[in-house]
Structure 1
């Protein structure tokens, strides 16, 4: 068998393993090691496995991941989860669909702390869904808005997905964070536009809530002032060059400890839970990264990426057409693969093709994470949908998926905008000079 055929068989084997429920890190590592053993030698596979594991565990740049995770968990302990939604609800709750708009704003704000789609939808959803249902919102619409809004956590910095992509693709995490800000904000605006249009034509979806006076609104801003300062200082300092990514994460952790103290959450139980959750998540992600590097090594040895890049070049297709075809394939795979699995599977295969088409690797990282986000709400997998259904157990899955449809339309339009206008992604990193 040719190396290319072995490569395609390896990808098929990985898809089968993931479909059967094998953890992504184990699946990636097993296929990668088996492929290297077949193509080179078993000894080479064992040596490569040991070297990769040692390098990942001791890699200084990877320290940014557990530090940002710890910062997020400390902010959870400080009680920041509900505050963003509460403040947004006071400002826009009196409008049609106002609480849904507030949920999107809350997800955007909380996403800047958590860096995780699932954590964002679970945390903001637990606060916002009961409030929307008490206000008379149509359950499927309310759940759909929250499931879609939760995807903001995967893109808005500090994003765990972008950190993993930066490590795998050997790209600047600071540039990726800067590049994600405009797409993240415009994504939130697209969702808000969808809510506004829907509630204009169907007011029963999101009734108005009681109006709150300006004095109360302005006082409520104090609830998130400390969190806002923390986020601005850490991400802003990273963008303008005060800190490296690891230093920014370290400063964020120290500031988050101070936040816990100020908010009265600095006790052994809460801090212990934050550290335990951080270690558990970090260990899982380290295994995934080790597996992804082994799988990427296997793919590079097979020559699949070079073969596909040559095929694209010989087709003389326009770069935009090739990227659209790539996006379509990613959306199909995202209908049954977990988002992180999709990203780690696609990066070693599609990144060389994007570079061949003269796309920036920073732009490709945002494009890939943005496409991955759609998988969080895309049937049949749609992990965010199942998380929100766990909060509103009496809401049928079918009703939530129907409520997701308008937001999927907004997702596709936003993705098309990012493809058509790469400057939306690349403008801020160029200005910031990170």
Structure 2
């Protein structure tokens, strides 16, 4: 996700600013919340004990009703990336042979296809392909998807179709960045059109029109499907306007029930424009999970009791009586926010050989002042995991 599209939608950083038998064994003390909220949480807990599933099983089960499942992630969380990476063999056995990734360029698809079907592993090509798309995206765990797919493909019998990683983005030209942005400058940065429409067109063409299935790993806002992000506008009816041009919105409009959207557990941006984050559903998710021993679970939101948990984060802006079921179809919980860890940034991703291009194509300069040399660029890379640690450490506990 780029800073420009988040800012344009009103959701920029300032706004954002197990085993089944064990489910009945949670012994955590009952949280002391309001009576109405306690009733909602009691119903949700009963539902989880009866219907919660191991996360991988839950995610794959979504393909019984959908051809494309959007998995909304908070980027660069180690547990999320390991979960999806380790799911590749089970996806393949279930007939899902494509993992669609936000971080990768369509221009490099042929090279990526060759990389993950080659007789030997080539880490330098993996690094180059990621750098081509985003000169600062040095996270090792995203490139680990390439190697995991390669290793799995080496286990397949001759003639079997390979597991494929599909890049859904294209190469942007950040040298054209201007502040404030203009339509002309945005067209220069994004010469192949708005990002999420491009991604929707690609998934439509490469997956849905071919009657295939795919898991799509993408930043949370891009996975918005039935939800339209709201923002306060002085000149809009009701003083609210809504953005329904995200990737999931586009795919739903074209394909209806063939699309599902699942949310990975993550902090939510606080309301009111502050650069701070809070617990989803006012801590309701983590209170429920504590009562089942914080075991990893996947479960429905839409049409299910857990989905009736109310939420008052920035996502509730201009949304009346907003609940989690209004937001996503389902949910995957791997660990409490306090135990989620950042991925690993490779500090020497940028070198003397590529620093000129890295400085020219530094992405999203409206998020943070661009580095000026190799040392400051590497300092930025080194700080990326620390920034995630700081952000997560500041999220208040769910409470009791």
Asked whether the two chains share a fold, i.e. TM above 0.5, the reply is no
State the TM-score, normalizing by the size of structure 2: 0.26
* Structure ranking higher in helix proportion: 1
Structure with the greater alpha carbon radius of gyration:
1
State the TM-score, normalizing by the size of structure 1: 0.24
* Structure ranking higher in strand proportion: 2
